[in-house]
Structure 1
């Protein structure tokens, strides 16, 4: 256990829970290259895992706390304790709803599997203690929640010997976020966190759940992805996100289809006749965004990353004007990047704050960063946090304490 972070987490775990952990598991945040609000519409997304991760230390419950889940974190002094038998969405709130929601969803899955005599599932699961650290910025649109959920999922999957696949664990994370946290998100974030690969994006069909690893080739082209975290915080469990999802579902129902995935740009004239203007624009974003995702994959495979800039730019315009989820800080970040050497730029994540990304030649990044900081100062916006992200591997075990 040579990594100083693991040594520090092991010490914190023992201080909080009275015994050393068994080991460490981690999962990354994600940046969505393109494909926003398409996942819960059963469409296409193209995220990649990033080199900022959540790490969990896990061990068995103390002898006097069998059947109990106990969770702590580096970002809260609170220790939350609950009997496994009492795990339920209504019993969870705050930051602990993310890891405990995963525990609840996994326990539900184990119980259902046990009824069908799946050998890996058990009807009685041992209690555990969990300590969480995350380097994924909260509220930045980089899916800090999915990182925590997926790190917890891989840890408990091993500890409870459930034998679930990465794709199944991604679904567990989504269930936790939807039902325990109350955020009506799709499965993109958890899929990227579980399935990411170095220098590649995950092309996910959210209807069939098929995935394909798409090489990005950034290093070969001397390109970087700069994240501009506006530090305008957002919360997907509140109204804006849910309202957009409801609009999409209403549009699909009005058009007589199961989801907006079943419609194409050719259907837009007919849709405009049948939907009110706001609902039509919400649906238009999703339908055209699906097309942009597929075209991005085609161009990456045939022409490389320098060919996708106009698609990133068009995606931002669609989110700003049709889906109306941008904010002035995001628009400024994108426009400044586009005017100062970026190949393309767009907001990324669910919107209402968070981050933008810019695909930029490495040599031009320092000047671009300086200009972004200057423009934010000029408009008296809060100073953004700027950093480069590298497409990285997905969730994994990081080692036992005695390694």
Structure 2
């Protein structure tokens, strides 16, 4: 299984990037990063940690309720040159504390950062906390200040560090042997994933940072891809985003030429699915187009991303009550878990065909979440906070503890029905997308001529649901999807957290240049873009390899 494979460590770039042409281009970039690292820190790096961004082909806002999605890693990525700091040996004080970090970025808009994890108060309480962390990966005896209300680039580095500290240095208390402490580290970042574009630059940052700290501290040996995904998921939550794991799984597990059917129930699963390559019709690639509307999950979380998380979780409890499924007062089940309880398979892993049949049977039950219109504006299908609490069957105090004590959200009406309808129909589309790919790949001859049209139609339906039921699109993204269809795309949809960011369109490979030209002409924010600025905004990509480490010569 793909998730059980070790995180790859390469000793040469041609091992990491088998395509000769791509490797030649990237070799220049890697060499420049190494040279700049030595200039800034006075010594050579020992490793480069790499994590790609991702494009989600279909399956939006359903991973955090444990339904599967269909992402692919992209060629754009985050690179971190890293190595043990030598500053403490020369008497410098900024990294003299255990595990001190000096982090710099080739992009001048990100200021250099110096910080160190702080040991919590020593003594019996700290020792007990460390024991607990060692046993269950609970909070470690370390503290790193992360401001979840203000987006700062170093927050993602700290988030990646936390997971390494909690899993591998839980007993590092004051007065313990130095071998129990993380080493001081120098990091130099560069990235080609546009920030806030919906291509998951944040997850790539956290994955790469986690990987860098694991590697420099000699803790990578024995860590599987699945374990790295789980660590990165937990780490990104420390920045204030309740990620479901789709982004991290794609960034870590993907391989060239394949997308990833990633599932989360009853545990993480990842199935590499080769994308169809028709031989009698033009090959297709995915074109990412940045709306240039910055979508920051952290800053807008209480109105957007985290609100959707809470709406779907509360919707699952309310639906369970209406279906007569018994829940404890502290339970916080997801829609995927409620489906399994309703099907009578609460602990079982259904195969994909059985899951598809189960979702189709369950869909009519979602209508039980549609509220009446008495006492609310015409056409309003949401419920107020007070109505939501009453529907949950919990007291206001218990409701707050279970659903609101760990996250901040803000809304006048909470859209339990719309979100549920999106979740279950989108989960079906993901399975159908997978099925189309598998049927095409199983064909002894060329894949059916209508394969790309089928995939495109599913992408179009997904965008419609994201726009009207999940309400995670925006006018600019809707306009880009419409323009993409007019320019000849087989299908087009929003990708990523939403409310801006990128679209992804399925386009015939031999028409990419013409396609991007039509988008530039039709989308007003692109009209002044030329050269590299246009290539940054709209570009074709093929599925890329997932995260890896490049070990450098000493």
Q: Same fold (TM over 0.5)?
A: yes
Task: Tell me the residue number matched to 1:78.
Answer: 111
Task: Tell me the residue number matched to 1:46.
Answer: 70
Kindly tell me: are residues 185 and 77 of structure 1, through their superposed partners in 2, closer, same or farther at Cα, counting changes over 3 Å? Answer: closer
Offset of residue 218 of structure 1: 4.1
1:355 aligned to 481, 490, 502, which one? 502
2:474/2:500 contact within 8 Å kept: yes
1:223 aligned to 284, 301, 317, which one? 284
Structure 2 unpaired stretches of 5+: 1-11, 13-23, 120-141, 173-178, 326-332, 340-358, 372-380, 382-414, 441-446
1:57 aligned to 75, 81, 87, which one? 81
Task: Compute the RMSD of aligned alpha carbons.
Answer: 2.4
Instruction: Report 1:2-401 matches (<5 A).
Output: 3-61=27-85, 62=87, 63=89, 64=91, 65-66=95-96, 67=98, 68-75=100-107, 76-85=109-118, 88=143, 90-91=145-146, 94-111=152-169, 123-162=180-219, 163=221, 164-179=223-238, 181-207=239-265, 208-218=267-277, 222-237=283-298, 238=300, 239=302, 240-256=304-320, 258-261=333-336, 262-263=338-339, 264-276=359-371, 277=381, 278-303=415-440, 305-306=451-452, 307-377=454-524, 385-401=537-553
Kindly tell me the number of residue pairs found equivalent between the two proteins.
Answer: 394
Kindly tell me: are residues 19 and 323 of structure 1, through their superposed partners in 2, closer, same or farther at Cα, counting changes over 3 Å? Answer: same
Offset of residue 113 of structure 1: 9.4
SS of 1:394 mapped into structure 2: coil
- Which range moved further: 74-83 or 293-302? 74-83
SS of 2:256 mapped into structure 1: coil
- Which range moved further: 390-399 or 245-254? 390-399
Give me the whole-angstrom Cα distance separating, in 2, the residues matched to 1:279 and 1:233.
Answer: 27
Give me the whole-angstrom Cα distance separating, in 2, the residues matched to 1:368 and 1:346.
Answer: 15
Kindly tell me: are residues 319 and 52 of structure 1, through their superposed partners in 2, closer, same or farther at Cα, counting changes over 3 Å? Answer: same
Offset of residue 148 of structure 1: 1.7
1:230/1:382 contact within 8 Å kept: no
Offset of residue 20 of structure 1: 1.9
1:21/1:401 contact within 8 Å kept: no
SS of 1:185 mapped into structure 2: coil
Offset of residue 275 of structure 1: 4.4
Give me the whole-angstrom Cα distance separating, in 1, the residues matched to 2:111 and 2:82.
Answer: 17
Give me the whole-angstrom Cα distance separating, in 1, the residues matched to 2:526 and 2:271.
Answer: 43
Give me the whole-angstrom Cα distance separating, in 1, the residues matched to 2:465 and 2:498.
Answer: 12
Offset of residue 155 of structure 1: 2.3
Give me the whole-angstrom Cα distance separating, in 2, the residues matched to 1:313 and 1:196.
Answer: 24
Work out which of the two has the higher radius of gyration on C-alpha atoms and give 1 or 2: 2
2:103/2:188 contact within 8 Å kept: yes
Residues 72-107 of structure 1 deviation map (CA, whole Å, 9 limit, x = unaligned): 112245222222335535445610111121111111
SS of 1:28 mapped into structure 2: strand
Offset of residue 396 of structure 1: 1.0
Structure 1 unpaired stretches of 5+: 115-121
SS of 1:25 mapped into structure 2: strand
1:200/1:217 contact within 8 Å kept: no
Give me the whole-angstrom Cα distance separating, in 2, the residues matched to 1:270 and 1:371.
Answer: 43
1:198/1:392 contact within 8 Å kept: yes
Offset of residue 345 of structure 1: 1.1
Give me the whole-angstrom Cα distance separating, in 2, the residues matched to 1:173 and 1:317.
Answer: 30
Give me the whole-angstrom Cα distance separating, in 1, the residues matched to 2:49 and 2:366.
Answer: 47
SS of 1:255 mapped into structure 2: helix
2:319/2:368 contact within 8 Å kept: no
Give me the whole-angstrom Cα distance separating, in 2, the residues matched to 1:270 and 1:51.
Answer: 41
Of Structure 1 and Structure 2, the greater strand share is in 1
- Which range moved further: 166-175 or 366-375? 366-375
Offset of residue 10 of structure 1: 2.1
Give me the whole-angstrom Cα distance separating, in 1, the residues matched to 2:188 and 2:438.
Answer: 41
TM-score (norm. length: structure 1): 0.91
Offset of residue 315 of structure 1: 0.3
Task: Tell me the residue number matched to 1:119.
Answer: none
Give me the whole-angstrom Cα distance separating, in 2, the residues matched to 1:113 and 1:310.
Answer: 54
